[in-house]
Amino acid sequence: MNTVKPYKIIIEWRGEEDFYFICDYARPDVEKTGNNHPISKARTFPVMAQAMGNVLRKLRKEHITFPLFLVTLAFNHRNLLHEIDQLLHLLHLHLEKEQVPGTFTCHISSSKQELSSNPA
């Protein structure tokens, strides 16, 4: 079993819907420090990006109809859960290879885009 474990998750928006999922991980006996977050992966998860964009708009107090937000979320829940499962799978695959503290960063986008310096 791997000795590194997640201890902090950050959601950082970079636009209306696109965001970064950042997970710091460390061995339980290592002090948790550092703020540098190079991107480990980039994936297209349109349902998740849209749902998180809706959350961001709600947090920023922009006008969105909350019942409509819930209906949309419920309607897309299967796709959303599938995308969350894929994201967590990417995180676990990354953690299986790591032996030292670090950060897993995944850019979440609603549209296909590849990061040239970070192969998917």
The whole-angstrom separation of Cα 31 and Cα 108 is: 28
Please, what are the averages of pLDDT over each run of 10 residues along the chain (120 residues)? Answer: 78 84 79 63 87 72 64 79 89 88 90 53
Return the pLDDT at 117.
43
Sheet bearing 102-109, strands edge to edge = 5-13, 19-26, 102-109, 41-44
- Give the span between the Cα atoms of 120 and 114, in whole angstroms: 8
What pTM was computed for the model? Answer: 0.64
Token couple for 73: 């979320």
- Cβ-based neighbour number of residue 111 at 10 Å: 9
Nearest to 103 by CA among 34, 43, 42, 28: 34
Give the per-residue pLDDT at 118.
45
pLDDT of residue 80: 85
Residues 8, 26: Cα–Cα separation, whole Å = 10
Distance CA 109, CA 16 (A): 10
Number of other residues whose CB lies within 10 A of the CB of residue 14: 11
Per-residue pLDDT, 104: 93
Residue 59, by phi and psi: left (phi above 0), alpha (psi -120 to 50) or beta?
Answer: alpha
